[in-house]
Amino acid sequence: MTTTSLEKFDQLLDARGLSCPLPILKTRTALKALPTGNILKVLTTDPGAIQDIASFCKTTGNELAGQGSSKDVYSFYIRKN
């Protein structure tokens, strides 16, 4: 996994403890409420989210601006396009 962290983000979604498909569903809902160009930081403990978030961004046209992991918590920075 590429480790990139962004200092600035506009909203935090804490999806830790949730299993697939809930992290993606909550990510979709949170992104809908954000203005274009804003960054959503998603935290999850679901290892399946690594592939799911990348696929979600690719199919929706949003940018996966960064990702990383620490102590079984995965973080994703998604820029709404």
Question: Is 20 known to be catalytic?
Answer: yes
Task: Report the greatest alpha carbon distance in the chain.
Answer: 31
Annotated catalytic residue, options 6, 18, 20, 50 = 20
- List alpha helices for the chain, DSSP H: 22-33, 49-60
Q: How far apart are CA 67 and CA 72, in angstroms?
A: 13
Question: Catalytic residue numbers?
Answer: 20
